[in-house]
Amino acid sequence: MVYYFWMYQIFLNRNLNGMLNFIQIFPSLIYLQYSALVITNTLFQQQKRRLYTWTSPDCEHRNQIDYILCSQRWRSFIQSAKTRPGADCGSDHEFLIAKFRLKLKKVGKTTKPFRYELNQIPYDYTVEVRNRFKGLDLIDKVPDELWNEVRDIVQETGIKTIPMEKKCKKAQWLSGEALQIAVKRREVKSKGEKERYKHLNAEFQRIARRDKKAFFSDQCKEIEENNRMGKTRDLFKKIRDTKGTFHAKMGSIKDRNGMDLTEAEDIKKRWQEYTEELYKKDLHDPDNHHGVITDLEPDILECEVKWTLESITTNKASGGDGIPVELFQILKDDAVKVLHSICQQIWKTQLWPQDWKRSVFIPIPKKGNAKESSNYRTIALISHASKVMLKILQARLQQYVNRELPDVQAGFRKGRGTRDQIANICWIIKKARNFQKNIYFCFIAYAKAFDCVDHNKLENSERDGNTRPPDLPFEKSVCRSGSNS
């Protein structure tokens, strides 16, 4: 980046030896040093007439008071900087130019994220995937190799047969009549018919306003209908589509020392550093239960895989493999058979596929300074296929966890929300106010509570409890095999 700067605060004279003689030092020099800038027209040896940038009206004094500044990072790009005394620029200042070498950055091709049109999955996809699944060796392969083959089959067939979700670039409320008038208006404008163009433009504006009003009226009716029917997902989706979503721009971020980072690679490294610190493990914490042998539960059943696959929530962002769960659910029993073989191999070997261990973190800004990494909520996107194994493990552990949790524990439990506790607090406050009694509440807020779980202590607490889940060794392999990107 090159700057032009008239340093009226610095008065510089050059002596006979050509050295700079600073008569006064002003805050502008501090600004240059702080901003890591260099003065380009002092970098090269030039004739005196090529250095002076201002001549007094009586032509007795000549000074160098105009400068072209450049960042120290691009200093080697500057090839020359000098004045052109003979140029007629209509000023008592001389024409100052700089010549620099410009090297354009090579922009690599970025792969745009895509989404399948899951509402239009063709029958050809189901037939081809089922035929290719029949040729898989489901017994003599390790989980990683088997999953890689399944992933490649689903991805290749999906890209070939399933259409991609298209985004509408034009305004949604414009009708076909308005678009036809817009085409005519464009043709008339190219011919130079001003009166006809004004008439078509007024007609287009009138029809566009009518279409927009009708469109939003229909949208509001659909929102009210979804609210009346209790369709909360469709309700909020329609609201988001109508009002639009706000996407915060993350132009820069601060490092751990408080310095701003603007380069994409530096920002990526900072996020990697932040997530590693957030999920770091205490390697010095001794494992007091090393060597404890526990028997595993029975093997994974096909009915468990079928129940889990059907219960996974749809319309969710996929993980790093880009395969949504809908591509497995439409295959039904064929997908259940393949996923059951993978889960069974994982259960026996306690080795997870690499794709299932990798999570993609998406930072979502919260309130506060957007340059601070701690003011973002990190959402982890995991492979949808791995959710099958995780939900089976969760269901088997749930019976042991429920024995340890007290009945008053609410929140993040099925059938035990916080509404009853909130109602009880309201009644207590009302009674206390009637009898003029003081009430004291203790609020404990854990910052990033779910991100700060120490898995070593979690394992120790499970072992020390009254009930020890038989699949604890497998759970340990799950907690210690994750990675992120």
The number of helices, as runs of H, and strands, as runs of E, in the chain is 15, 14
389 inside domain: yes
> Are the beta carbons of 261 and 252 closer than 8 angstroms?
yes
Residues 8 and 83 in one domain: yes
Judged by DSSP in three states, 96 sits in strand
User: Does residue 130 belong to any structural domain of this protein?
Assistant: no
Burial of 242 (C-beta count, 10 Å sphere; 0-12/13-18/19+): middle
Chain centroid to CA 173: 30
**Residue closest to 131 by CA, chosen among 175, 92, 161:** 161
Coil/strand/helix, residue 432: helix
Name the DSSP letter for residue 267: H
Whether 304 and 390 map to the same domain: the answer is yes
pLDDT in tens, the chain (485 residues): 444 444 433 444 444 344 444 444 455 667 777 778 888 888 888 888 888 888 888 878 888 888 888 888 888 888 888 888 877 766 788 888 888 887 777 776 666 667 888 888 899 999 999 999 988 888 878 889 999 999 999 999 999 999 887 765 567 778 888 888 988 988 988 888 888 989 999 999 999 999 999 998 998 999 999 999 888 888 888 888 887 766 666 677 888 888 888 888 888 888 888 888 877 765 455 555 455 445 557 888 899 999 999 999 888 888 888 899 999 999 989 999 999 999 999 988 888 899 998 888 888 888 878 888 888 888 889 999 999 999 998 888 888 888 888 888 887 777 777 888 888 899 999 999 999 999 888 887 776 666 666 666 666 666 665 555 555 555 555 555 555 55
Query: Among 218, 214, 236, which residue's Cα sits nearest to residue 227?
Result: 236
Alpha-carbon torsion (64, 68, 73, 78), positive or negative: negative
Three-class SS state of 83: strand
> Considering only CA atoms, which of 259, 285, 286 is closest in space to residue 270?
259
Number of domains in the chain: 3
Tokens for 229, please give them: 């029917």
DSSP secondary structure string for all residues of 222-248: HHHHHHHHT-HHHHHHHHHHHH-----
* Domain end (from 243, 266, 288): 243
Count the neighbouring beta carbons within 10 Å of the beta carbon of residue 301: 13
Helices (H), 350-418: 354-357, 384-404
Q: What pLDDT was estimated at residue 448?
A: 66
- Locate 104 and state its tokens: 């354009």
Contact 352, 143 (CB under 8 A): yes
Q: Is residue 201 part of a domain?
A: yes
Are residues 460 and 362 part of one domain?
yes
Closest CA to 178 of 204, 201, 196: 204
- Whether 135 is in a domain gets the answer no
Residues 218 and 80 in one domain: no
Query: Do residues 292 and 430 share a domain?
Result: yes
Nearest to 474 by CA among 355, 351, 382: 351
* Residue 154 is assigned to a structural domain of this protein: no
Q: Are residues 363 and 424 in the same domain?
A: yes
Task: Compute φ and ψ for 469, nearest 5 degrees.
Answer: -65, 135
> Residue 252's closest CA among 266, 242, 240?
266
Q: Are residues 369 and 426 in the same domain?
A: yes
Q: Which residues contact 100 (CB under 8 A, 6 or more apart)?
A: 2, 70, 74, 77, 78, 79
Handedness of CA 71, 77, 80, 84 (dihedral sign): negative
Domain that holds residue 191: 176-243
Q: What is the CA radius of gyration of the chain?
A: 34
Q: Crossing angle for the helix pair 123-133 and 333-349, nearest 10 degrees?
A: 40
- CA 162 from chain center: how many Å? 26
Domain boundary among 243, 278, 299: 243
* Cα–Cα dist 363/250, whole Å: 10
Residues contacting residue 8 through CB under 8 Å, at least 6 positions apart: 65
- 129 lies in a domain? no
CB 84 within 8 A of CB 97: yes
Q: Please count the CA atoms within 13 angstroms of the CA of 481 that sit on its side-chain side.
A: 16
**For the whole model, what pTM was predicted?**
0.62
Q: Does 217 fall in a domain?
A: yes
Q: Is residue 258 domain-shared with residue 238, that is, in the same domain?
A: no
Ordered DSSP codes for 40-62 = GGGSS---GGGT--EE-TTSS-E
Instruction: Examine the domain organization and report whether 238 and 215 are in the same domain.
Output: yes
Q: Which of 90, 101, 154, 374 is nearest to 255 (CA)?
A: 374
Q: How far apart are CA 54 and CA 64, in angstroms?
A: 6
**Is 90 within the bounds of a domain?**
yes
Domain end, chosen from 201, 219, 243, is at: 243
In terms of domains, do 296 and 191 share one? no
Q: Is the distance from CB of 339 to CB of 388 less than 8 angstroms?
A: yes
Whether 380 and 438 map to the same domain: the answer is yes
Same domain, 206 and 312: no
